[in-house]
């Protein structure tokens, strides 16, 4: 595995892949890798001749009250995991390499960013759009891999790629789950023993809501069923339960052919998110 920190070295590393017509799969991450990232890398490995992973804790997507410095890092372990995933090139730039200067041009997410998790993180998705645009240009991938767990991020990046004609394909990778259905997350370790036993109710609740929506197409009723199941089965406090169009993420579900049921729940020391998508309003 090639390990590079500067753009020039990245370009050299991928030059051979590009000029020999190899397909390039790209997995952008903020490091502190877990099984979710591994499933992205595994899919990239299956689909492509050459796999690039990036590790960059992007300052542009942290708000003034969000602690960039406290974001967990473990580069040594990440390198080992990337090697295990048969990544060909690992790019882990410093911030000054990614943002050496700023001419003031900005990219802004639209209404998609004002709902779900974005509602409480103003500017967060603008920072995501900035870094993925830069990374996509640097790596020039054939395919990029994002997890369905971060559904809002996925929706916004799919919209960016579609509306700005990026010459690449976005691959959605399904959420990896524990055997009891709980979505895997590095935050699950912050759950108390009791909370951990309750947490699978979140995914059950989403499934119940989706099943009901499939049959009755009633948004409010589906949300109510999901809400009640979480309230009954856990000690957590619901941040949101939303059923929206996908990828527009509007309450007018007629704007897209897909919908998403997305949930965020606060426990004592962890906020968990999960979601399910329904394509063509019934499949």
25 touches 143 (CB < 8 A) = yes
Query: Is 167 near a second copy (CB under 8 A)?
Result: yes
**Smallest distance from the beta carbon of 160 to a second copy, in angstroms?**
6
**Smallest distance from the beta carbon of 26 to a second copy, in angstroms?**
14
Pick the piece of the chain touching a second copy (CB under 8 A) from 32-40, 52-60, 126-134, 262-270: 126-134
Kind plus residue range of the DSSP H or E element containing 40: helix 35-47
Binding site membership for beta-alanine: which residues? 61
Query: Is 132 near a second copy (CB under 8 A)?
Result: no
Query: Is 138 near a second copy (CB under 8 A)?
Result: yes
- Rounded Cα distance, 222 and 275, in Å: 13
Kind plus residue range of the DSSP H or E element containing 171: strand 169-173
260: tokens are 């998403």
- Rounded Cα distance, 229 and 236, in Å: 11
27: tokens are 């997995």
For residue 79, how many C-alpha atoms fall within 13 Å in the half-sphere facing its CB?
10
Pick the piece of the chain touching a second copy (CB under 8 A) from 29-37, 39-47, 103-111, 220-228: 103-111
- Rounded Cα distance, 207 and 233, in Å: 14
Return the number of other C-beta atoms located less than 10 Å from residue 109's C-beta. Answer: 21
What string marks each residue from 215 to 254 as x (binds a second copy by CB under 8 A) or -?
--------------------------------xx------
The DSSP result for 200-238, as a single string, is HHHHHHHHHHHHHHHHH--HHHHHHHHHHHHHHH-S-EE
Catalytic status, residue 37: yes
**Smallest distance from the beta carbon of 258 to a second copy, in angstroms?**
14
- Rounded Cα distance, 227 and 223, in Å: 6
Position among 1, 2, 3, 7 found at the interface with a second copy (CB under 8 A):
7
**Smallest distance from the beta carbon of 7 to a second copy, in angstroms?**
7
> Sign of dihedral through CA atoms 77, 79, 81, 83?
negative
Q: Which of residues 62-101 bind a second copy (CB under 8 A)?
A: 101
Nearest residue (CB) to a second copy, 112 versus 175: 112
Pick the piece of the chain touching a second copy (CB under 8 A) from 130-138, 169-177, 191-199, 231-239: 130-138
Residue 28, strand partner residues: 54
| Pair type for strands 143-147 and 169-173 | parallel
Q: Among the options 37, 124, 212, 229, which is catalytic?
A: 37
Say how many residues touch a second copy, by CB under 8 A: 33
**Smallest distance from the beta carbon of 98 to a second copy, in angstroms?**
9
Interacting residue ranges for a second copy, rule: CB under 8 A: 7, 19, 21, 101-112, 129-130, 133-134, 137-138, 140, 156, 159-160, 162-167, 247-248
Catalytic residues: 37
């Amino acid at each position: 595995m090639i390990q590079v920190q500067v753009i020039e070295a990245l370009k050299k590393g991928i030059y051979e892949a590009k000029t020999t017509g190899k397909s390039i799969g790209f997995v952008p991450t903020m490091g502190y890798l877990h099984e979710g990232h591994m499933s992205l890398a595994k899919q990239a490995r299956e689909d492509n001749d050459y796999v690039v992973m990036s590790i960059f804790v992007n300052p542009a997507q942290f708000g003034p009250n969000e602690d960039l410095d406290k974001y967990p890092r473990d580069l040594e372990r990440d390198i080992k995991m990337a090697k295990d995933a048969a990544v060909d090139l690992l790019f882990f730039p410093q911030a000054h390499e990614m943002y050496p200067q700023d001419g003031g041009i900005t990219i802004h997410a639209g209404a998609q960013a004002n709902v779900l998790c974005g509602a409480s993180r103003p500017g967060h998705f603008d920072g995501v759009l900035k870094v993925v645009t830069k990374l996509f240009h640097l790596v020039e991938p054939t395919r990029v891999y994002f997890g369905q767990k971060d559904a809002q991020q996925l929706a916004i990046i799919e919209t960016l790629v579609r509306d700005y004609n990026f010459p690449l394909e976005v691959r959605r990778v399904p959420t990896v789950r524990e055997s009891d259905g709980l979505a895997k997350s590095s935050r699950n370790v912050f759950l108390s023993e009791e909370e951990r036993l309750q947490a699978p109710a979140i995914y059950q609740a989403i499934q119940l809501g989706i099943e009901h929506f499939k049959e009755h197409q009633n948004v409010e009723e589906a949300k109510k069923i999901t809400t009640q199941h979480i309230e009954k089965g856990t000690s957590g406090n619901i941040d949101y339960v939303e059923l929206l169009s996908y990828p527009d993420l509007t309450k007018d579900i007629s704007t897209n052919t897909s919908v998403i049921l997305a949930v965020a729940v606060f426990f004592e020391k962890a906020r968990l998110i999960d979601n399910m998508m329904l394509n063509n309003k019934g499949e």
